[in-house]
Amino acid sequence: MQASDNRRKITVGIFIFLGLAIFVVGVFTLGSQKKAFVNSFTVDVIFDDIQGLKSGNNVWFSGVKIGTIKKIQFYGTSQVQVFLNIEEQAHKYIHKDAAASISSDGLIGNKIIVITGGTPKFPFVEDGDRLRVNSTLSTDDIMKTFQVNNKNLVEVTSDFKILAKSLVEGKGTAGTLLTDQQVAEDFKKIVANLKNTTASANKMAAELNTFSKTLNTKGGFADKVLTDTVVFARLQSSVDELQKTAGSAAALTENLNKASAKLNQSDNAIGVLLNDQKTAEQVKAIMLNMETSSKKLDENLEALQHNFLLRGFFRKKAKAEAEGNKQ
């Protein structure tokens, strides 16, 4: 009986010891996770919306857990003040211009606070300081954006479905191009013509390039015209002479125009002869009389040659002309 009681006491003692050991290990484990037994300092942040943050959530810096959320309370009219318990060893990395933002531990994990260290030109943060807020997109905002994008994607897919159906049915220009063989052949011809046109344009560009190179040939006419001042001066002088000749020709043409205009007027002799019918008839009559008179004169001269008084004179004259021809 005594031995069984002692055995029972020993068993109970062992269980109590094991329970106390488990309790102590649990306390130290939880304390280490919550940084309860580490020297720390406190800072606070004012948020407009904490997005479900709770006391005890973690605080991260450069991907390392450096503390926990100590307390959450309302601030002002609608803001929330969050107190952060940060371990002392992270003190030398966080500056006064550091900023805090709300994020998630994974895509659907617990909410956490992420601190950026700031710049070295500012001093280190001190106990009781307030960090500024770094405004970033929250997970909820990202999910809302995803929802909007999904809605837009559904609309685009629906529109594309309608477009594909119209293409298959041959509606519209693109549908006609895909389904009408004649239109497709015409389009091929257009592309071929464009190809030929492009080839011709390339050929013309090459020829223009060759021509421009010949213009730059040293000693050529174009080079002399563009570079030799003497040749250019001569060309300019020739152009001036051509301009003077053109001016003279213009003056001559103007004078001829004036003269031709005079021919159509009756205030001058030639104009009267050309335009006055009566004067023209008189001139014709005068010419006719002169012709008749000349014929009569010839007849009179012929009669004189046969006259016995002048016959010797004309014979001597004819004989002298004959001797002159012989000599």
Tokens at 188, concatenated: 């091929």
> Which pLDDT score is estimated for 41?
92
What average pLDDT does range 23-50 have in this prediction?
73
Res 7 pLDDT > 80: no
pLDDT at 269 (0 to 100): 62
CATH architecture designation of domain 38-136: Beta Barrel (2.40)
Other CB atoms within 10 Å distance of the CB of residue 312: 9
Q: Each residue of 3-25: b (16+ CB within 10 Å) or e? A: eeeeeeeeeeeeeeeeeeeeeee
Helices (DSSP H) in the chain: which residue ranges? Answer: 2-33, 139-168, 172-179, 181-215, 221-227, 229-263, 269-275, 277-305, 311-326
Average pLDDT over every residue of 53-58: 90
Report how far residue 108's alpha carbon sits from residue 144's, in angstroms, rounded to the nearest whole number. Answer: 14
The ranges assigned to domains in the chain are 38-136, 140-171, 180-215
Cβ atoms of 287 and 295 within 8 Å: the answer is no
What is the average pLDDT across 186-197? 81
For residue range 161-174, list pLDDT tens digits in order. 776 666 566 666 66
Residues 236-248: tens digit of each pLDDT: 777 788 787 777 7
For the full predicted model, state whether its pTM sits above 0.95. no
47 pLDDT band, cuts 50/70/90, is very high
